[in-house]
Amino acid sequence: MNLLGETKDAISQSGHSTDDVRFVGSRDGKLGIPWSQAEKVLDIDYDDGYGGQEIAADLVVVFTDGGFLRREEYDGSEWWEYEPPFRVPETQKPFKLVKLTSYRTRLLVEINYPMEATEE
C-alpha cells in the first residue's frame, strides 16, 4: 500500500481536499509539517495487511476545520479513520456516574440514563 495514495483517498472521503490540511504530524501536535512537505514523507510503500504495524500510531492529518485523520490498527492491519470537529451541543445533560455498571454499559449516557439509552 502506498501511504500517500491512501492518505489522499482518506482526505477525499472525509469531504476535504489537500488544501484543507493544516498540518501532518503527531497527535500531540509536537511534530508537524505542512502538506507540501508531507507529500514527500508519505510517499512510501508499506504492508497494510495483518502482521506488525508499520506506520507511526500517532500520525495524524489535521484539517483547518478542526477535524482530523488518525491511524487505526487491528493485528497489524492499518488504515485512516476520520474524526469530525468537536461541536459542543446547545444543551447538555448533567451526570454523576462514570464507572461501568455492567458489561453492557460502556457509554456515559448508558450509565447515567439507562432507560433513555435503550429507547434510542
**Three cell numbers at 117?**
439509552
> Tens digit of pLDDT for each residue in 36-86?
999 999 999 999 888 888 999 999 999 999 999 999 998 879 999 999 999
Classify burial at 112, counting beta carbons within 10 Å of its beta carbon; exposed 0-12, middle 13-18, buried 19 or more.
middle
Which pLDDT band holds residue 115 (cuts at 50, 70, 90)?
confident
pLDDT band, residue 109 (cuts 50/70/90): confident
C-beta separation of 81 from 13 below 8 A: no
Residue 119 has pLDDT above 60, yes or no: no
- Indicate yes or no: pTM above 0.85: no
